[in-house]
């Protein structure tokens, strides 16, 4: 369970557990941070949560304004999907961790 929603994991991707019951189509990758939180990777871009809204992880460094929210049924609500940069590159280590390169 994450943020009140349940997900099933398949090859490193997390899928909303309510997919068959209510048609939830959320698919994200949760990347743990050193601070004990998670980044949400959605469509190749990473987002960090502030007060219920997930802002592009490049918001502070380059001013990207893309942001998303999670809906009540665990889906993704896109508020602004325009990024001012290419998606970040991550590699998955043998122990399952993700490292930005």
Tokens of residue 54, six digits: 């997930």
Phi, psi (degrees; rounded to nearest 5) at 87? -65, 150
Q: Which helix (DSSP H) or strand (DSSP E) does residue 22 occupy? A: helix 19-22
1 located within any domain: no
- Collapse the DSSP code of 59 into the 3-class scheme (helix H, G, I; strand E, B; otherwise coil) and give the result: helix
- CATH (domain of 79): 2.20.25
**Count of domains for the chain:** 1
Residue-level pLDDT at 14: 57
In this structure, is residue 28 part of a structural domain? yes
| pLDDT tens-digit map of 8-33 | 666 655 566 655 444 555 577 778 88
- Please provide the size of the chain in residues: 101
pLDDT (tens digit per residue) in 57-99: 999 888 999 999 877 766 778 888 889 999 998 888 888 778 8
């Amino acid at each position: 369970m994450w943020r009140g929603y349940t997900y099933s994991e398949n090859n490193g991707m997390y899928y909303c557990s309510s997919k068959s019951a209510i048609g939830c189509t959320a698919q994200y990758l949760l990347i743990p941070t050193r601070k004990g939180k998670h980044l949400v990777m959605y469509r190749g871009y990473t987002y960090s949560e502030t007060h219920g809204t997930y802002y592009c992880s490049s918001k502070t460094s380059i001013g990207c304004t893309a942001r998303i929210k999670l809906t009540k049924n665990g889906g993704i609500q896109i508020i602004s999907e325009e990024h001012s940069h290419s998606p970040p590159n991550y590699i998955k280590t043998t122990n399952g961790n993700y490292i930005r390169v």
